[in-house]
Amino acid sequence: MLHAQTFLFLIGGIILCSAEEKTSTEWWRNNFIYQIYPLSFKDSTGDGVGDLNGITSKLEHIADIGASALWISPIYVSPMVDFGYDITNFTDIDPVFGNLDDFSKLVTKAKSLGLKVLLDFVPNHSSDKCSWFTKSIQKIKPYDEYYIWKDAKIVNGTRQPPNNWLGAFQGSAWEWNEQRQQYYYHAFAVGQPDLNYRNPQLNEEMKNVLRFWLNRGVDGFRVDAIHYLIEDSRFLDEPKIANTGLPDTDAGTLEHIYTCNQKTTYDIVKTWRDVLDASPGPKKVFLTEAYTSIDYLMEYYKYGSNLPMNFMFMEDLRANSTALEFKYKIDRYLNRIPNGQSANWVVGNHDKFRVATRFGPKRADQLTMIATILPGVAIIYNGDEIGMENNIISWEETVDPAGCNAGPERYNTTSRDPARTPFQWDDTVSAGFSTNTKTWLPIHPNYKTLNLAAQKLAPASHYKVLKKLSALKKYPAVKDGSTEIIVVGYNVLGIVRRLPGKSHVVLLINFNDSMTVVDAASWMNIPDKMNVYTASVHSNIQLSSYKTENMMHITSLHSKMLRTSVLLCLFTAVIWCSAAPNPSEEWWRDSFIYQIYPLSFKDSNGDGVGDLNGITSKLEHIADIGASALWLSPIYVSPMVDFGYDITNFTDIDPVFGNLADFSKLVTKAKSLGLKVLLDFVPNHSSDKCSWFTKSIQKIKPYDEYYIWKDAKIVNGTRQPPNNWLSAFQGSAWEWNDQRKQYYYHAFAAGQPDLNYRNSQLNEEMKNALRFWLNRGVDGFRIDTIPNLIEDSRFLDEPKIPNTGLPDTDSGTLEHIYTYNQNETYDILKTWRAVLDSYNGTKKMFLTEAYTTLAYQMRYYEYGSNIPFNFMFMGELNNRSSAVQFKRTIDRYLDAIPAGQSANWVTGNHDQGRVASRFGLKRADQLSMMAAVLPGVGIIYNGDEIGMVNRPMSYKETLDPAGCNAGPSRYNTTSRDPQRTPFQWDSTTSAGFSTNTKTWLPINPNYKTLNLAAEKLASVSHYSIFKKLVTLKKLPVISKGTTQIILVGYNVFGVVRRQAGQSPVVLLINFNDVSTLADAASWMNVPDQMKVYVSSIGSNIQIGATVNTNRIILPAAASVILV
């Protein structure tokens, strides 16, 4: 039984690196960096304050725990308003810490111990006592523009700051200077005026500061608060954030769009990088501190930061985070690291609570273990290696300006003093930090038992765990191996590092509050027996062999908050699986998914409407064409206002389609044919006939808040909707309910009220709907219209788009910045992903429908969508697009796919015109060919495999609410009925769809000649082409080969798939309206002769023929695949 701990097993000294191993010029890779807060590390003079000589006397400790470098927080001359972060002289040592000679001794000794020395570089501001600032006040050149000065704003005769910007330490970020008669800007304390980097002379001064310390042996810098470096030059007011619960003086009440993350910041970093690169000797490192979004963080790599600091363990993840949340955050971060760059994991620092306080003492080793086993650099804060905890500091004892300025009511939420108390070396006076009983911050009273000396003597301790971890960081599998992050069973996090020919390393962490049994061997594909290398403190796990199959118990003892972490190491002698890759669990990769629109697929009872038994009777067709899965559009109970997309019961079948027993038969038969079954999940709204909505109208809890209700806006005594939001189906998105006396929001039809995902109980209802169908054998879901899921809670009017040519009632006249693509949508998706991942057996799949930008689309991968639908063939590209437009659009999409994720190609669906209608009959096969040859999943709509076309509809025949609501003059631009007509099986009554001559939508009159039965008999048909494409999709060269997209001469599009030892596969498409001669051999570097595998209908290129690729004639609009 594994108790609540973390552990690793290794054999002898095998974890040490080989003597012949090449040393990287980037010495920091896969190492530990140790942060020292100098005031609190070691006092050598007895004044109660840490200093340089104190640090020097304890350097052996840093070398002993295996760190590669020490990073020293500011030691420059300072009045200590912000304890060293307010600097008067950037090129000298404050007497509190010592002098330059003391610094030289420290560097010399560190180098003798193999330690690199990094300094804090604080470029955003100086002290107001700095001589530069004094001269700037006096307008002495060049210092007059070294700071950010602005004239006052006069309001009603009263002097006001230039704008509403707030300082991080409370209150206005502007301070009036009586002598200069201007305000100066300070992002932090009043005594820390910001430097002006729009002045090149100031930047040259700061580059000279870097050179000064580089010349004294410094190996790099941690750049402080870099995202504050530049401010927007227009000095506009920053937007207020509503309902923060913070006082108006708190910077957290503003959205910092003008004072943080300005693009010019990156250019400044690049100039500093040049200074470091010009310095001789070992490569110098830049760490940049920016509490910012992942997008801004990744930019720093491009401009010279080696380690843009990753604060996920202090910002995104907490003690109550689940294994799945850890997995998602880590995966998202690792997937964004640019090629060739190093990840990093900041375990703790001087600005945040200590690890043992944030996560609990019994989980103190957990983050260090994660930071060790994951690729990249681990950054640890002094004291965390022995599990030091925050000290409780009273208001009277508080010295941190962040706490002092917050006042006695709020200081404990902002003060950083508790995490900065002196290091606990032993149980002597002042914990061995100082001979003085009065120290600059009080010693934690637990020092008698929690100290380094005691941990060295203890049989198990945080200190001993860290020593083993730093040694493991140098192990080959951890340095160079692949990384897999797995949720093992329920709420157990697993990480495996694998390297062929080397031992694997495995980490297991139990996030449950009780003992958990997991089959780690099966989940993680590791041997049944492994050795524990190290275990977290208090686990009582012995460092010996341990079974991983069926009987691995990970338990928590004594405390509900206890978590267990286990690190296992597998050695070469017992590696049995490294010769071949593990089979992928992602069954959908490089396959085709077939969409069924149930109303139109097959009618089994003669009522003219498709149903489940009809689908079941035709499953052989789907298996015959080679699809891997069928996706069913909605089959739930519905009044059919939007034909199934308005749902009254999410866990039952509408009688139109059948019942649950019919559904079970469908699933059983599909599985017997090797087909997966996917359902439409429609979470944005219900029907207004849903019982939830009825109860919401009546304000019956908890349903009262299941929908989005708002009071009317009274304008000139007249009731008006709350804002200008418009429905996708025309007109206001707000409908008045006279019973509740409020408006409800509906993004689509008035009969489809939107659900309120700010209500956790509602989300639990929807998770239960997912569970209901998963328990009935469903393999995944397509999530309908996911960008509409959440609306901005401020309910502001959306901006109007000028000159659209659309009526004012059309939603296309508004820019949907408040009703679409809201950040919280992704968080909701993540909770649903957790539901799917909690199911064993075949991996479950999410497809997400979002007609949105590429950036928003890619984010869905990060939060649990396996296939965020790619609608380029229905949106950006059409029958007028050129070969170069196809190439640019496809390249841009493939380049954006996160590492390890699958692309997808939606060729058609029930909401857009059919392929043969959008692109023309001659190009009907073109998109299927692209979807087959390009990497990823192809998604095809029923009927497109036989080249069905739209059936024109009169307004009287129109049923789709999108068309009906548009009116007789515009219905044909919005109605989706033409592409939803029944499937054309044969030339009998109603195209073989129904025995009834009257069908829910009229049959296309071309069914006599265009039908599946006829295509099966024809020598060449869309059907036979599609079957060959699905077969091609399964070839290794398609599933694993490289992809090149090439323009072959003028307006000929080419794709080459290559794999070593295999013949290439080539797709050529002529986008010209005339026959074109192409030299594919030269342009694409393919063999001179290749065989035609398949060609498009009407091209007259014979399948099986050998062609000369240096002179291949492509008829107008022809597509051909060569092998």
Relative to beta strand 69-72, strand 32-36 is parallel
Q: Are residues 932 and 786 in the same domain?
A: yes
The answer to the question of residue 469 being in a domain is: no
Exposure on the CB side of residue 828, measured as CA atoms within 13 A:
28
* Whole-number pLDDT of residue 554: 35
Q: Based on the domain organization, do 1012 and 1061 belong to the same domain?
A: no
> Of the residues 128, 224, 325, 385, which is catalytic?
224
Is the N-terminal amide bond of 702 cis, ω within 30° of 0?
yes
The CB density around residue 749, as the number of other CB atoms within 10 Å, is 24
pLDDT at 514: 79
Pick the catalytic residue from 51, 289, 646, 1015: 289
The pair phi, psi for residue 3, each rounded to 5°, is -85, 180
| Single residue among 953, 986, 1017 that ends a domain in this structure | 1017
| Contact criterion met (CB below 8 Å) for 383 and 424 | yes
Distance CA 211, CA 639 (A): 74
Q: How many domains does the chain have?
A: 2
Q: Cα separation of 739 and 699, whole Å?
A: 10
Are the CB atoms for 244 and 253 separated by under 8 Å? Answer: yes
Cβ atoms 532, 523 nearer than 8 A: no
| Same domain for 997 and 923 | yes
In this structure, are residues 325 and 317 in contact, taking their beta carbons and an 8 Å threshold?
A: yes
Query: What DSSP string describes 573-592?
Result: GG--STTSPPPPS-TTTT-E
DSSP 666-725: HHHHHHHTT-EEEEEE--SB--TTSHHHHHHHTT-TTGGGSB-EEPPEEETTEEE-SS--
411 inside domain: no
Chain mean position to CA 360: 27
Per DSSP, 130 falls in state S
Instruction: Annotate 56-74 with b (16+ C-beta within 10 A) or e (fewer).
Output: bebbebbbebbbbbbbbbb
Could you give the maximum distance between any two Cα atoms of the chain, in Å?
Answer: 101
Give the domain CATH number at 1079: 2.60.40.1180
Q: 857 lies in a domain? A: yes
Could you give the C-alpha distances from 943 to 465, 913, 977, 1001, 1026, in angstroms and in order? Answer: 62, 12, 14, 15, 11
Closest CA to 369 of 378, 361, 381, 357: 378
Instruction: Say if 962 falls within a structural domain.
Output: yes
Cα angle vertex 1059, ends 1054, 1061, to 5°? 130
Rounded (to 5) percent helix, strand, coil in the chain? 30, 20, 50
Decide if 543 contacts 7 (C-beta within 8 A).
yes
- Whose tokens are 């009825």? That residue is 694
Which residues does residue 1047 pair with via DSSP β-bridges, in sequence order? 1053
* Domain-located, residue 409: no
Same domain flag for 981 and 1075:
no
Does 289 qualify as catalytic in the annotation? yes
* 801/846 same-domain check: yes
- Picking from 378, 580, 380, the residue whose alpha carbon sits closest to that of residue 479 is 378
* Tokens 């760490």, located at residue: 287
Q: Give the whole-angstrom CA distance, residue 1116 versus residue 1069.
A: 9
Let me know whether 976 and 929 are in one domain. Answer: yes
For residue 1107, tell me if it sits in a domain.
Answer: yes
Q: How far apart are CA 1051 and CA 1059, in angstroms?
A: 26
pLDDT score for 557: 23
- One-letter amino acid of 459: P
Rounded distance between C-alpha atoms, residue 521 and residue 1057, angstroms = 36
Q: What local confidence, expressed as pLDDT, does residue 2 receive?
A: 34
* The pLDDT value given to residue 362: 78
Q: Is the peptide bond before 787 cis (omega within 30 degrees of 0)?
A: no
Q: Say if residue 1073 is in the same domain as residue 985.
A: no
The tokens describing 446, both together, are: 């637990």
**765 part of the active site:** no
Please tell me whether residue 426 adopts helix, strand or coil conformation: coil
Contact between 466 and 480 (Cβ < 8 Å): no
Mapping DSSP onto H, E and C, the string for 784-824 reads CCHHHCCCCCCCCCCCECCCCCCCCCCHHHECCCCCCCCCH
The amino acid at residue 251 is A
Q: Is 529 part of a structural domain of the chain?
A: no
pLDDT score of 255 = 95
Residue 861 structural domain: 760-1017
Element spanning 1000, H or E: none
Note whether 881 and 961 are same-domain residues: yes
The tokens of 753 are what?
């009220």
Burial (Cβ within 10 Å: 0-12, 13-18, ≥19) of residue 416: buried
- Phi and psi at 386, nearest 5°, equal -115, 10
Residue after which a domain boundary falls, among 1017, 1051, 1077: 1017
Phi, psi of 1117 (to 5 degrees): 65, 15
Residue 767 belongs to a domain with what CATH number? Answer: 3.20.20.80
Same domain flag for 1013 and 1061 = no
- The 3-class secondary structure across 46-83, one letter per residue, is CCCCCCHHHHHHCHHHHHHCCCCEEEECCCEECCCCCC
Could you tell me the CA-to-CA distances from 980 to 431, 607, 633, 942 in Å, in that order? 78, 17, 12, 9
Question: Are residues 842 and 967 part of one domain?
Answer: yes
850 and 961 belong to one structural domain: yes
Q: What is the spatial distance between Cα 1003 and Cα 991, in angstroms, rounded to a whole number?
A: 7
Mean pLDDT per 10-residue interval, the chain, length 1123 residues: 34 26 70 98 98 98 97 97 95 98 98 97 98 98 97 95 95 97 97 97 98 98 97 96 94 96 96 97 96 95 97 93 88 89 96 94 89 96 97 93 89 93 98 98 97 95 94 91 79 86 85 78 71 80 50 29 37 20 68 97 98 98 97 97 94 98 97 97 98 98 97 95 96 98 97 97 97 97 97 96 95 96 96 95 95 95 97 93 92 92 96 94 92 97 97 93 90 93 98 98 97 96 96 94 87 93 94 93 88 95 95 96 98
**Where a domain ends, among 963, 986, 1017?**
1017
CA separation for the pair 209, 471 (Å, rounded): 35
Domain contains 58: no
d(CA 187, CA 260): 10
CB 1115 within 8 A of CB 1070: yes
Q: Are residues 947 and 1045 in the same domain?
A: no
CB atoms within 10 A of CB 962: 20
